Chain A
Amino acid sequence: KNQVEQSPQSLIILEGKNCTLQCNYTVSPFSNLRWYKQDTGRGPVSLTIMTFSENTKSNGRYTATLDADTKQSSLHITASQLSDSASYICVVTGTGANNLFFGTGTRLTVIP
């Protein structure tokens, strides 16, 4: 069964600290993996997208890694800011435009 599991479900960190969010998947065949940030009351916004051949991609303070062999991805946030408080969603795409599998997200809270 194609699944995407994220951990932890929620996380609280102090402003300025780093954190890492995890995503494990069983989707096959695999096309790409995306990380989205969703602020409360807003739609998800893409942070990174990685294909099979990419194992790391950065977007400012966000760095995503992908290990296609172990089917694991992580999102590392450096020097967190209050504005990083949001849900982070991992999405794995199989083949076809409708073949997307969503994780339930990690709720990150950054406190001063």
Chain B
Amino acid sequence: DAGITQSPRHKVTETGTPVTLRCHQTENHRYMYWYRQDPGHGLRLIHYSYGVKDTDKGEVSDGYSVSRSKTEDFLLTLESATSSQTSVYFCAISGGSGATTYEQYFGPGTRLTVT
């Protein structure tokens, strides 16, 4: 998984509780992304970061916030989890040097269930 870890890998939480997912990379890539994957949908971009403290919204950002205080860490926070946020969340990185610049590498995913 190209030096990308996600934690936790599985989480069950109750509606209304805050949840933070962590993505950690050891590749020193510039860009980091959070996606969610649901049946019948392609991967959908939630938020992305193009540098430390530089983030922007993606296609499905409502109900999510992110932070990136270090190059290697990108946090995704659900301020008040809802059942519609039950999904598998993937972190991805890109922005390596040379021939891998366009390549996007994905983490192993976090399965989140909101009850």
Contact = CB atoms under 8 A, between A and B. Distances in A.
B108 A97 contact: no
B103 A49 contact: yes
Nearest to A36: B106
Nearest to A45: B106
A43 B3 CA distance: 13
Task: Describe A's contact surface by its main secondary structure.
Answer: strand
A46 B103 contact: yes
B106 A104 contact: no
A81 interface: no
Q: How large is the interface on A (under 10, 10 to 19, 20 to 34, 35 or more residues)?
A: 20 to 34
Nearest to B30: A97
Interface residues of B, number: 26
A97 B94 contact: yes
A97 B109 contact: no
Given A43-B108, A49-B102, A97 B41 contact: no
Contacts of A102: 42-44
B101 to A, nearest CB: 10
Contacts of A41: 109
B58 to A, nearest CB: 6
Contacts of B94: 97
Contacts of A4: 42
Which residue among A44, A93, A103 has the maximum number of chain B CB atoms within 10 Å of its CB? Answer: A44
Interface of B: 1, 4, 31, 33, 40-45, 48, 50, 56, 58, 90, 92, 94-95, 102-109
Given A42-B108, A100-B104, A103-B42, 10 more contacts: A4-B42, A31-B102, A32-B102, A43-B1, A43-B106, A89-B42, A89-B43, A93-B102, A100-B45, A104-B41
Interface of A: 4, 31-32, 34, 36, 41-46, 49, 89, 91, 93, 97-98, 100-105
